[in-house]
Amino acid sequence: MVIAKKNFKSRLIVGTGKYKNMEECAKAIEISGADIVTVAVRRVNILDKKKPLLMDYIDPKKITYLPNTAGCFNSKDALRTLRLAREMGGWKLVKLEVLGDKKNLFPEMIETLKSTEILTKEGFQVMVYCNDDPLMAKRLENSGASAIMPLAAPIGSGLGILNKTNIKIIRNQTKLPLIIDAGLGQASDATIAMELGCDGVLVNTAIARAKNPFTMALAFKNAVVAGRHSYLSGRIKKILMGSRSSPKKGII
């Protein structure tokens, strides 16, 4: 998968939140085969210096950190967060996520669009979390987004892809990397996303909160590969009636 001219071997991006501990997170990422992980920017705990650091468990030299603005509800906060992320070590490839509603966590698209324009001008490569609206996806593309990341369903809901038609329309209109972000619940949801022609999927809760995050990480890894092969292979046409698989000739 190529994003902002950089080649990534896996089409599965995983989040690093919601795991029981850092060890579990690091192991699940390793099993998933992901080479991009999303990370959040938060205050250092100045009182508890022994708290483990993410960088001690996941090496940013081996795995691409994708700083995310999760938790930001306006453009100002999102820009501040990503500028700090860039300061930390030169991160230019970032995930923009500006939320609009604390309950459903849907993206606030006006603020998202505004932020995309500013960040692009500042030299960021912006992967944009958005709703599954083809018109808004087009506007993001025109604003210089590096990847379009529509939700499948509300963040953490596990509902799977709710609007396949819109995802297909977005696929057909854009050459940008199209990555399903948020709302997947099980491995087959990732396969469906890939079969719709998406370039990748981003998964956090479905792996981190599975009863067994390790086997679920493996399941998602395989599901993404299966979906991609299925998409590239060209599926058969759907027909209403049966079509026999064995020849009539020679029936005894």
Partner 1 sequence: MKKIKKIKIRINGKIKTVKENLNLLNIIKNFKIPLKKVAIELNQEIVDKKKLNKIKLKTNDKIEIVHFIGGG
Q: Does 159 bind partner 1 (CB under 8 A)?
A: no
Q: Is the Cβ of residue 55 or residue 135 nearer to partner 1 in the bound state?
A: 55
Instruction: Check if the beta carbon of residue 160 is closer than 8 Å to that of residue 184.
Output: yes
State the binding string over 126-145 for partner 1 (x if CB under 8 A, else -): --------------------
Report 19-38 residues binding partner 1 (CB under 8 A).
19, 22, 25, 38
Query: Closest Cα partner for 29 from 213, 154, 166?
Result: 213
Helix (H, G, I), strand (E, B) or coil at 68: strand
In angstroms, give the least distance from the CB of 184 to partner 1: 11
User: Taking contact as CB under 8 A, which single stretch among the options 9-17, 163-171, 191-199, 217-225 is the one that binds partner 1?
Assistant: 9-17
At residue 6, φ and ψ (nearest 5 deg) are -105, 135
Report the Cα 205 to chain-centroid distance in Å. 12
**Count of residues in contact with partner 1, rule CB under 8 A:** 38
**Residue 121 among the catalytic residues:** no
- Measured from the Cβ of residue 101, the count of other Cβ atoms closer than 10 Å reads 11
- Measured from the Cβ of residue 193, the count of other Cβ atoms closer than 10 Å reads 32
Alpha-carbon distance of 227 to 231, in angstroms, equals 6
Q: Does 88 bind partner 1 (CB under 8 A)?
A: yes
Query: So which residues are the catalytic ones?
Result: 95
In the complex, the residues that contact partner 1 under the rule CB under 8 A are 15-19, 22, 25, 38-47, 49, 53-55, 65, 67-68, 70, 80, 83-85, 87-89, 155-156, 182, 202, 204-205
